[in-house]
Amino acid sequence: MTTEDYLNTLNAAQLRAVMHSPDIPLQILAGPGSGKTKVLTCRIAHLISKHSISPQSICAVTFTNKAANEMRERLTKLIGIEQTNQIKLGTFHAICSMFLRKYAKLVGLDSNFTICDADESKNIIKKLLKTYRDELEAHNIVLAEATVISRISKAKAKGVTSDGLRRREKKGISRGEGRTADGSLIEQSFASIIDDVVAEIHVDYAAILRRNNSLDFDDLVLFGKQLFAEHPTVSRWCRHILVDEFQDTNTTQYELMRHIAATSRCVTIVGDPDQSIYGWRSAEVENLARMKRDLPNTQQLFLEQNYRSTASIISCSLAIVSQDKSRTPKTLHTTHPTGPTPVLRSLPYEQNESAFLASEIKRLVAYSGGMLSWGDFVILLRYNSLSRSIESALQKEGIPNRVLNGHKFFERLEVKDILAYLQLLDNPLYVPAFMRAINVPSRGIGEKSVSELLATAQRLGLSPIEVVEKIFDNTIPDIKPAVKRKLTSFVPHIRRSRTSMQKRTRPSDLIRDLLQLLNYEGYLMKTQPDWESRWDNVQELINFASQVEMGTPMLFDSDQPEDDPSEGEEWNSLAEFDQDQLEDDGIVEAQRPRQAKGKEKQTEERYERHILVSASADCSAIRDTPLRLFLQASMLSTGTEVQGNENDTEKVTISTCHAAKGLEWPIVMIPAVEKGTFPSARAEDVHEERRLLYVACTRAKALLYLTHSTARMMSGEVRPKELSEFVITALQNSQTVFTDQIPCLSASDREVLAQVLNRSSPSDAEVARKIAEYNRTTTNPWDGSAVPSSTPWFSSTYNKSAVSSSVEGSCNFLTARAASSVLQDSLKAPTTATTLFSTRGRVLNVPSNTALLQLPTAGAETASKQRKLKQSSLQQTHLHANLSSHRVPVTVYSDPKPDVVSETPQSSVCATPSTGALSAIPVVPVNAAKGKRRLGMGRTTVGYPNKKFKAPLGGGGQ
């Protein structure tokens, strides 16, 4: 398809945006579903073909990898792969990272810096915070590390560097002194104590990162900004910069954008103030106005034509977002038919709510006559932990589902273990990697020895890895808890891998080799109950490495200096400038003296060029080792997008509202539309919460459901919940934006669906057949409960999530309700399989149809113990009652007795005081028949598992 053909598919507003003069800064305000990506890609194509701007001088910035990839795909179709790959296209972080590798020296970094992920920076800050604990306690201040992290992150988003903070540290007044007896001032001084502590931790944290030759995510942008600000020549290649989701930029990102555009001043941004939902991480909608001030000739264009949703979904969404009176008025039109009115339902309890959604999904699939399938549904949550009851409801109905962005691939322990070794090879100064690698697999080098090693390293001015090698070689004396012998399974491995790395071995082979050396699979088997899925993840990491090796499009071809080709010769000749010489002269490290500003422009540019070239050109071979490219890709890719799992398209998606931005589904369901959730109880900006609901609603193409429970389990107790005021207000303004009637999916409804989704309508016969089948196989989800009982304990559907997580391999406490259900199930499918448990060193042989309940010690001194005791005896009573009503034989054992259980032929309930703490229930029979993973016969954790047991990457649904 040529650019011209593409232009023909644009509407008038889109066309204006695409054709807009490149020299006049442009703001495209684009509502949801208005085709902004189309406009953006088309504009890029237009810049290249009609304005002869070369692709490598175009910079396109997105917020997510997903958006970047989508743009890349569309551009490839439009202008071909070759030109697309020349465009500097990526997230803010990726673009900064690439330039920082290239010009590291200019901002005082080494190009092998490691990107410090959130986990590691949390660890660092946690340690720093500990040193202030006593002091804070003395002032009666509680300072959570999350607070510190977010404050530091916010400071960085606003462009505050640790250098700026260091000055205030010198004030030298001891904290808390400025306080007077006046009560109102006390709080003030609390705040200032916290400010000081945060500032000090910030400074220390930054120093640690520098020592580790490491940057965290915020640093990438911050240092990127610094690079472009201090060295304008670095951005000379840029003729046009385009920024997507501009309403989400923070101050630092905005300034970065301005610096990249410093020469050309050609900027196109796309954004929508109504979809600004990231204020909490310092996004500034204000940047729209700021841009207009900074670039006074900026023009605005509106895209208000929506191509996604039915008219009724649009009006419902507008009814929500327009409640904000301070908002810039903006509207949405659609040519789509009205369609079924969005559903609003209240249900008594979260289980009912989940069950309603699950059964509704089933019904819609049937009543649409097969036009809809699982993959067409998304359930959008305010926050992830709401997914539990949803997941179990879907599971119970046998609906396949996946959690979008549930647990991040690169944050998994097994993946991080391997990455740690590789990071250590690439950057020996990166202490977090050292700390992890040194004792994985376990070598008996614990916290104590590690801190000893680190201290030695500091004392000798060596990297920890050098210290360890020297100890191994007898070049320096061993440390106190002798460690040399333990290093035989570490130093040789490191050396072997390092040699391999220096030969530029492919990272995937490097990993394979490492796995072998470490016998990592064996280690996982020994230590992880769910080692199989973890091993799968390791394999997935190898796949990812292979993908990177095969040349996923990099931001730029590393060796070419980006500048006007006519100047190429000069660049190349300058490339011979001796790097070491520059360093010796202190030029590379030194900050450019300010006085040169304004005058001696030419000299300055020449100077800049010297250092640019010397900082980059000569070392590109080292800079972009295969390993480094792989590590960078790992650290910058989030989520699970690595895997491109095809059968994901056949699953119902569960996602947060935030993660859903930019995406769309035929049917959207939003549970928990309640006060305290929408808006979230801890949200600072109610308007932002409203916009979040708006974003969620506007993801829907054809059908929209909002539900609400009148009671919900929160923080371990059931609390009453009220409908969200956003919805109440919308209803007050217009009764008709919602209905409590579920759509009947009549022939005309199906017609609308077919039209909006651009699918063909099924025949009436087909629909009738599907409905008949549905009626035959489906029972009412809560009437058909497996546990009929009048007691509140058993009134709702039983807790299948507890069951399934047990099957996954962990052992959990079960509620009485779940336990009785499990027991009944296992009686239906009796089994003789037994499971071994260890408690206090004893091994118990327990038939798998045995429930073990924990009871607290009878003494019960503390209030919490007493509560638990009461609850437990209540549970026991109910369990008893329920099981006897089903004529399930019950035997109750107490403490030392459980050994006997293996002899018991039928189901039993084991109750035990917590001193003997039996705390697990084996439930093999429930799902074992389906051939899924079964509870291991080997070592089993008793008690709360303190490791996470999440579904393996790519679903692995039961």
30 is known to lie in a ligand binding site = yes
Contacts of 3 (CB under 8 A, 6+ apart): 42, 45, 46, 49, 50, 78, 79
What's the min distance (Å) between Cβ of 233 and DNA? 26
Site residues (CB under 7 A) for DNA, limited to 152-211? 153
Query: Would you say 162 or 264 has its CB closer to DNA?
Result: 162
Binds DNA (CB under 7 A): choice among 56, 111, 249, 449: 449
Residue 481 contacts DNA per CB under 7 A: yes
What's the min distance (Å) between Cβ of 388 and DNA? 7
Query: Would you say 367 or 794 has its CB closer to DNA?
Result: 794
Query: Would you say 24 or 479 has its CB closer to DNA?
Result: 479
Query: Would you say 372 or 803 has its CB closer to DNA?
Result: 803
Q: What does the per-residue mask of binding to DNA show for 845-884, with x meaning CB under 7 A?
A: -----------xx----x-xx-------------------
Residue 943 contacts DNA per CB under 7 A: yes
Residue 720 contacts DNA per CB under 7 A: no
Query: Would you say 63 or 577 has its CB closer to DNA?
Result: 63
Q: Which of 279, 267, 198, 270 is nearest to 239 (CA)?
A: 267
- Any bridge partners for residue 703, and if so which? 667
Calpha distance 375→381 (Å, rounded) = 17
| Vertex 667: Cα angle to 664 and 670 (nearest 5) | 90
Binds DNA (CB under 7 A): choice among 322, 384, 845, 906: 384
Tell how strand 267-271 and strand 240-243 pair up: parallel
Residue 140 contacts DNA per CB under 7 A: no
- Residue showing tokens 């958006």: 67
* Residues 118-134: b if buried by 16+ CB within 10 A, e if exposed: eebbeebbeebbeebee
What's the min distance (Å) between Cβ of 64 and DNA? 4
Residue 252 contacts DNA per CB under 7 A: no
What's the min distance (Å) between Cβ of 321 and DNA? 17
- Any bridge partners for residue 343, and if so which? 705, 739
What's the min distance (Å) between Cβ of 149 and DNA? 7
Q: Are 372 and 365 in contact (CB under 8 A)?
A: yes
Size of the site for DNA (CB under 7 A): 73
Q: Are 381 and 357 in contact (CB under 8 A)?
A: no
Site residues (CB under 7 A) for DNA, limited to 581-610? none
Binds DNA (CB under 7 A): choice among 3, 49, 76, 439: 439
Residue span binding DNA (CB under 7 A) among the ranges 87-95, 171-179, 326-334, 511-519: 87-95
Residue 144 contacts DNA per CB under 7 A: yes
Residue span binding DNA (CB under 7 A) among the ranges 441-449, 454-462, 496-504, 881-889: 441-449
Q: Are 305 and 181 in contact (CB under 8 A)?
A: no
Q: What does the per-residue mask of binding to DNA show for 809-838, with x meaning CB under 7 A?
A: ---xx-x----------------------x
Q: Take residue 436 and report the two structure tokens written for it.
A: 């992890």
Residue span binding DNA (CB under 7 A) among the ranges 295-303, 437-445, 594-602, 884-892: 437-445
Q: Take residue 446 and report the two structure tokens written for it.
A: 């614990």
What's the min distance (Å) between Cβ of 371 and DNA? 30
* Amino acid code (one letter) for 573: S
What's the min distance (Å) between Cβ of 45 and DNA? 25
Site residues (CB under 7 A) for DNA, limited to 898-937? 914-915, 917, 919
Backbone torsions φ then ψ of 586, nearest 5 degrees = 75, 15
Query: Would you say 149 or 745 has its CB closer to DNA?
Result: 149
Helix (H, G, I), strand (E, B) or coil at 28: strand
Binds DNA (CB under 7 A): choice among 176, 232, 337, 639: 639
Calpha distance 510→517 (Å, rounded) = 11
164 is known to lie in a ligand binding site = no
What's the min distance (Å) between Cβ of 941 and DNA? 6
Q: Which of 103, 58, 59, 91 is nearest to 620 (CA)?
A: 103
CA distances from 80 to 77, 83, 421, 481, 532 (A): 6, 6, 38, 61, 42
Distance separating the N- and C-terminal Cα atoms of the chain = 44
Binds DNA (CB under 7 A): choice among 93, 231, 239, 933: 93
Q: Are 667 and 376 in contact (CB under 8 A)?
A: yes
Furthest-apart CA pair in the chain: how many Å? Answer: 96
Residue 2 contacts DNA per CB under 7 A: no
Binds DNA (CB under 7 A): choice among 287, 638, 724, 958: 638
Q: Within 10 A of 527 (CB to CB), how many other CB atoms are there?
A: 15
Q: Take residue 606 and report the two structure tokens written for it.
A: 């020449």
Contacts of 630 (CB under 8 A, 6+ apart): 422, 507, 545, 548, 549
CA dihedral 501, 502, 505, 509 (to 10 degrees): -20
Binds DNA (CB under 7 A): choice among 385, 474, 566, 832: 385
CA distances from 383 to 388, 658, 659, 670, 682 (A): 11, 9, 10, 11, 12
Q: Are 133 and 647 in contact (CB under 8 A)?
A: no
Q: Within 10 A of 222 (CB to CB), how many other CB atoms are there?
A: 26
Residue span binding DNA (CB under 7 A) among the ranges 32-40, 63-71, 462-470, 731-739: 63-71
Calpha distance 881→879 (Å, rounded) = 5
Query: Would you say 588 or 652 has its CB closer to DNA?
Result: 652
Residue 801 contacts DNA per CB under 7 A: yes
Residue 354 contacts DNA per CB under 7 A: no
Q: How far from chain centre, in Å, is Cα 891?
A: 46
What's the min distance (Å) between Cβ of 157 and DNA? 8
Site residues (CB under 7 A) for DNA, limited to 206-235? 217-218
Residue 839 contacts DNA per CB under 7 A: yes
Binds DNA (CB under 7 A): choice among 400, 553, 830, 945: 945
Residue span binding DNA (CB under 7 A) among the ranges 12-20, 88-96, 761-769, 845-853: 88-96
Query: Would you say 118 or 892 has its CB closer to DNA?
Result: 118
32 is known to lie in a ligand binding site = yes
Site residues (CB under 7 A) for DNA, limited to 254-293? 280-281
Q: What does the per-residue mask of binding to DNA show for 672-691, with x meaning CB under 7 A?
A: --------x-xxx-------
Binds DNA (CB under 7 A): choice among 63, 377, 410, 694: 63
Q: Which of 506, 346, 495, 514 is nearest to 419 (CA)?
A: 514
What's the min distance (Å) between Cβ of 566 and DNA? 35
Secondary structure (DSSP) of 590-648? SPPPGGGSSS-HHHHHHHHHHHHHHHHGGGHHHHT-HHHHHHHHHHH--TTTTS--GGG
Residue 941 contacts DNA per CB under 7 A: yes
Residue 309 contacts DNA per CB under 7 A: no
Calpha distance 920→837 (Å, rounded) = 8
What's the min distance (Å) between Cβ of 449 and DNA? 4
Per the rule left: phi > 0, alpha: psi between -120 and 50, beta: everything else, 675 is: beta
37 is known to lie in a ligand binding site = yes
Residue 523 contacts DNA per CB under 7 A: no
Residue 91 contacts DNA per CB under 7 A: yes
Query: Would you say 413 or 517 has its CB closer to DNA?
Result: 413
Query: Would you say 139 or 865 has its CB closer to DNA?
Result: 865
Query: Would you say 53 or 814 has its CB closer to DNA?
Result: 814
Calpha distance 386→669 (Å, rounded) = 13
- Residue showing tokens 């304005």: 51
Residue 64 contacts DNA per CB under 7 A: yes
Annotated binding site: 30-37
Binding-site residue positions for ATP: 30-37
